[in-house]
Amino acid sequence: MTLSTSILLIIVLAPLAGCLLAGFLGKFIGRAGAHTATILGVAIACALSFYVLYQLVWGGAASYNHDVYTWFEIGRFHASVGFLIDRLTAMMMVVVTFVSLLVHIYTIGYMADDPGYQRFFSYISLFTFSMLMLVMSNNFMQLFFGWEAVGLVSYLLIGFWYRRPTAIFANLKAFLVNRVGDFGFLLGIAAVLYFLDTLDYATAFAHAGSLVGRTLQVSQNHALDAATVIGVLLFIGAMGKSAQVPLHVWLPDSMEGPTPISALIHAATMVTAGIFMVARMSPIYELSDAALGFVMVIGATGALFTGLIGIVQYDIKRVVAYSTLSQLGYMTVALGASAYAGAVFHLMTHAFFKALLFLGAGSVIIAMHHEQDMRYMGGLRKYMPVTWITMWIGALALCGVPFFSGFYSKDAIIEAVGLSHRWGSGYAYVCVMAGVFVTALYTFRQMYLTFHGKERFTVAAHDSHAAHGGHHRGGGAQETAGPEPHPSVEPHHGEPGVLAHPPHESPWVVTLPLVLLAIPSLLIGFFTVGPMLFGGWFGEAIHVETSHDVLGEMAREFQGSAAMALHGFLSLPFALVLLAFAITTYIYLFNPGLADRIKRALKPLYVVLENKYWFDTVYYAVFARGGVALGRLLWKGGDAAVIDGALVNGSAALVQRIAAAVRRLQSGYLYHYAVAMILGLVLLLGGYWLVGQNGQ
């Protein structure tokens, strides 16, 4: 059987319809109408995405690749809107819509008192539509449309509280950094069109072999391999979207947006777009070891060094944000090792447990009356049992503890890199192995500081509450209040660690998504690792050369999910997790003062990590201020002095002076004109006489 075009259109357009209803009719349909319309639209898309996946896997449906309509046509070149639906696409559709649906439900509780309620639901529904257009596209033009659309909506959502200077700075930073990556991405698409004469996926992949031996002449004596050029340029786009070093600096600042959008950006939408794109382009990347080596080294650098920053963070959301940077590095390393299935498998498992951790962090923020600093938490497990248990499931999955979903995907990546012989694989293996210890260190530290140990907060008396205006850290005093101030009200900062009410478990619209995300975070890896990694589940959607097939080598040793997990207890990664667990348990449960002593002893390293390797400082000094200085130089030295001064104003002044001089000759007296005529005649005759003399 074949998939229906109408079903695919409904999947894409249902979230868009909800977005338009909430956005344009929000005042008329109210809050309930806005969240009902958007949740219904995403729920329809989610249900139909599961149906599409079922048909492809168990229903005998063939892959779908058709154009819906022609976008534009110029000569022999045309761009269409169409869908390519195979198992890779269907898996992404399910992940995007399922996580998005739970985020929509969670938002009802989280944004309860925000005046931008309808606007927020409109934005996140538009985000879902944009991501679906990206993953379902069958050509590069539509891919670029979805690529830019998710970037636009992320800009709107990161700066959702537009009265906050920090939010505006963060969304502008995200926008500008992604423009750098998108410039390379656009050049990569142009290179595909130049070398392959098409922007259609199927046609481009079918003719990818023609790139072998072809070069791009960059100078008289230098030429670059065509496949390498395309692969590197496209990956530069992925470096921006998927926050790879050195274009990673925007992602931690995206925490300025509300927690639901942090979960959506980090788990299932924007940052996974680059990983999906490289996996989709595997027929091209397999032609260039240089491009894949570049991908691997960049990913390995991010996996270790951005994770280290998470160790020194105290903001509960920023710890999870730096975790995302590190895990994206793992996915990128897998792509560089030609383990594309491993990368998208980790993308899937990571989407569930990372969304769980972000939404769990939001639940904690609600309970703590909008406090995000973990130094003022502690002992929350007795107040928030559901959040505590579900976040521990997400934490153990993130650390890669055997039988949890993250174990299957992360350990597979580590082993795949160990088997790779591509240049950079040795460096990558050391980074991802060390990253296991670092990940466990900051994850257990976060859990202990938040839920365990003594309580480092106090509950204010009623008069103190009144004196503080019922606010703390910029939030409202109501128990169901949204955790950040809305844009029309300036935040009122109370005393750190002083709460207006005792913390308590979040309402069901918050805890239900946590439970539903905890289930796949615990189980999905166990049931899917065999077919997705070692069973050729993705079929022709992913192409790997036989000589690069590290997952194929691993498949010969695979004895099943249970055996893999049991063997994992004897592996080096698990030993590193246990070591990190022992260190953090001793420090944060039995000897809390040791953390400060270690901090003082390792102050130089701490300063480096606290300043995030000075990437932001350098970018601000060199690119931001340097760009402004260059602009002023060109304005004053070029535009003002040369163009305006010499060419425009200077030529006008010269004409004016000449006109003034000529004007003096026009006196209006007859005898002046007679004298001028006589002098002219004398000069003319004298000239003829001189010419005649020279001729003799």
Q: Average model confidence (pLDDT) for the chain?
A: 89
**Looking at residue 452, what is its pLDDT?**
94
* Segment among 563-572, 620-629, 634-643 with least mean pLDDT: 634-643
Residue 467 pLDDT level (bands cut at 50, 70, 90): very low
Asked whether the beta carbons of 475 and 492 are under 8 A apart, the reply is no
Same domain, 415 and 353: yes
Same domain, 213 and 238: yes
pTM of the prediction? 0.88
| 471 vs 415, more confident | 415
* Segment among 371-385, 426-440, 578-592, 669-683 with least mean pLDDT: 669-683
Question: What are the tens digits of pLDDT across the range 244-294?
Answer: 999 999 999 888 888 888 888 888 778 899 999 999 999 999 999 999 999
DSSP string, 467-513: HTTT-BTTB-SSTT--SS--TTS------TTEESS---PPPHHHHHH
Question: What are the tens digits of pLDDT across the range 287-321?
Answer: 999 999 999 999 999 999 999 999 999 999 999 99
pLDDT for residue 693 is more than 90: no
**Looking at residue 90, what is its pLDDT?**
96
Same domain, 529 and 642: no
Asked if residue 467 belongs to a domain, the reply is no
**Looking at residue 72, what is its pLDDT?**
82
Task: Say what percent of the chain tops pLDDT 70.
Answer: 93
The residue out of 565, 590, 615 marking a domain boundary is: 590
Residue 696 pLDDT level (bands cut at 50, 70, 90): low
Same domain, 315 and 241: yes
Going by the DSSP 8-state scheme, the letter that residue 246 receives in this structure is T
**Looking at residue 494, what is its pLDDT?**
60
pLDDT for residue 414 is more than 90: yes
* Segment among 347-351, 384-388, 615-619 with least mean pLDDT: 615-619
The residues pairing with 315 across neighbouring beta strands, listed in sequence order, are: 373
- Could you list the residue range(s) of the whole structural domain that residue 650 is in? 607-665
**Looking at residue 339, what is its pLDDT?**
96
Residue 476 pLDDT level (bands cut at 50, 70, 90): very low
CB contact set of 293 (below 8 Å; sequence gap of 6+): 336, 422, 423, 424
| Alpha-carbon dihedral angle through residues 125, 128, 129, 135, given to the nearest 10 degrees | 180
The token duo for 240 is 């921006």
Residue 151 pLDDT level (bands cut at 50, 70, 90): very high
Same domain, 523 and 629: no
Asked if residue 481 belongs to a domain, the reply is no
* Segment among 45-54, 162-171, 273-282 with least mean pLDDT: 162-171
Residue 153: alpha-carbon gap to chain centroid: 12
**Looking at residue 548, what is its pLDDT?**
93
**Looking at residue 461, what is its pLDDT?**
62
Question: What are the tens digits of pLDDT across the range 645-662?
Answer: 667 777 777 788 888 777
Asked if residue 595 belongs to a domain, the reply is no
Asked if residue 311 belongs to a domain, the reply is yes
DSSP string, 516-537: HHHHHHHHHHHHHHIIIIIS-T
Q: What is the mean pLDDT of residues 467-496?
A: 41
φ, ψ (nearest 5 deg) of residue 72: -155, 160
The residue out of 529, 559, 590 marking a domain boundary is: 590
Asked if residue 532 belongs to a domain, the reply is yes
Same domain, 171 and 251: yes
pLDDT for residue 527 is more than 90: yes
Same domain, 684 and 543: no
The number of distinct structural domains making up the chain is 3
Q: What is the mean pLDDT of residues 498-526?
A: 92
Task: Say what percent of the chain tops pLDDT 90.
Answer: 69
Asked whether the beta carbons of 377 and 509 are under 8 A apart, the reply is no
Question: What are the tens digits of pLDDT across the range 202-240?
Answer: 999 999 999 998 988 888 788 899 999 999 999 999 999
Same domain, 537 and 637: no
* CA proximity to 414, closest of 431, 391, 437: 431
Asked if residue 343 belongs to a domain, the reply is yes
Same domain, 639 and 690: no
Residue 495 pLDDT level (bands cut at 50, 70, 90): confident
pLDDT for residue 157 is more than 60: yes
pLDDT for residue 469 is more than 50: no
State which of 66-70, 85-89, 689-693 shows the largest mean pLDDT: 85-89
Helix (H) or strand (E) holding 671: helix 670-695
**Looking at residue 1, what is its pLDDT?**
63
The CA distance from 357 to 61, in Å, is 35
Same domain, 687 and 651: no
Q: What is the mean pLDDT of residues 125-133?
A: 95
The CA distance from 577 to 569, in Å, is 10
Same domain, 211 and 290: yes
Asked if residue 598 belongs to a domain, the reply is no
Asked if residue 288 belongs to a domain, the reply is yes
| 386 vs 674, more confident | 386
pLDDT for residue 324 is more than 70: yes
Same domain, 316 and 339: yes
The residue out of 590, 615, 633 marking a domain boundary is: 590
